[in-house]
Amino acid sequence: MTGEAFAVLAALAYGVAGVAIVQGRPMARGDNGVFLSVLLTAALSCLLWLGWGGTTTGAQLAPRDLTGAILIFAVAGICSNGIGRQAMYWATERIGAVRAGLLRRLTPLFVLPCAYLLLGEVPAPQTLLGSALVLAGILIYVLPQTRAATPAPNAPQISANPFGLLLGTLSALAYALAFAFRGLGLDILPDPTFGAMIGAFAGALALLALALARKGLRDGLRHLSRDRQAAHWLTALGLSAGQILQFFALHSAPVVSVALLGTLEVMFSAAIILLITKGETVAIRPLVLASILSTAGTAILLFA
């Protein structure tokens, strides 16, 4: 399976998780399962590494290079699991799932300069063409939905407040940095399961430190551990699968391609809402046109 195919599967997993976040928000009493999702990512990636990649990690690198790779993966994990994931949850609570999802589409735009500065990656013409088609498809669908979509039942009041928009933009930037650092770490140590495990543990520690600093020991631990409903577990599974699949994608595909294919998450979320949950209004015609453009762009990226 190619790296681009792994990226498409990751987008599907994130699409499922995005819908589950909205479903879990009305019943949330703590962090809506953010910490649960990071812990599950750490556990699953650790099991995969022990059963698959753990036998080669120590033999491939000198201790100094191994330490450098671990630090890079940890920074990537703090960017994605700590800053990016938490900021997107907070943004969704303030401006709604649709606006927050739209702001996350800024990730590929941030990835371009990050990948160039950290990895020296210059996108090929086919990548730019496929990227343009994918982004056009996403925008055709998402932009009208910022007015048409409705929040989930019993959800808190939402609006386009400036702080929520800032949080959504911060999340997109954090995810872009995570993509670039993951690619840099995989250049040193090509072990996706090890990188995902280190990043998840680093992100969990960052979230724990933030909760303890904000709420103290007792209330902080309660805040991180209270939300364990079915929707929160589904979110955790989706985010965990998506992050691990993205690591496998980055192992054999350019950072820019993986980030741009990640924009298909919105299309998968829309399909799930339309066919299963029916929790938001979905415009059929923009969805069909967006699907055609996104599929064409994906095909170009897959076979470029």
Low-confidence winner among 34-43, 121-130, 208-217 (lowest mean pLDDT): 121-130
Rounded to whole angstroms, the Cα distance separating 116 from 21 reads: 33
Between 76 and 150, name the one with better pLDDT. Answer: 76
Cα atoms in the 13 Å half-sphere on the side-chain side of 86: 21
Average pLDDT, the chain: 80
Mean pLDDT in residue range 76-81: 92
Q: How far apart, in whole angstroms, are the C-alpha atoms of residue 235 and residue 272?
A: 14
Question: Residue 94's pLDDT is what?
Answer: 74
Top pLDDT among 148 and 208 is at 208
- Number of C-beta neighbours around residue 101 at 10 A: 26
Report which of residues 20 and 60 the model is more confident about: 20
Q: Write down the pLDDT at residue 54.
A: 54
**What was the pLDDT predicted at 155?**
46
Instruction: Answer yes or no: is pLDDT of 245 > 60.
Output: yes
Q: Lowest mean pLDDT: which of 27-31, 65-69, 247-251?
A: 247-251
Distance CA(106)–CA(90), nearest Å, equals: 17
- Cα torsion at 109, 115, 120, 124 (round to 10°)? -50
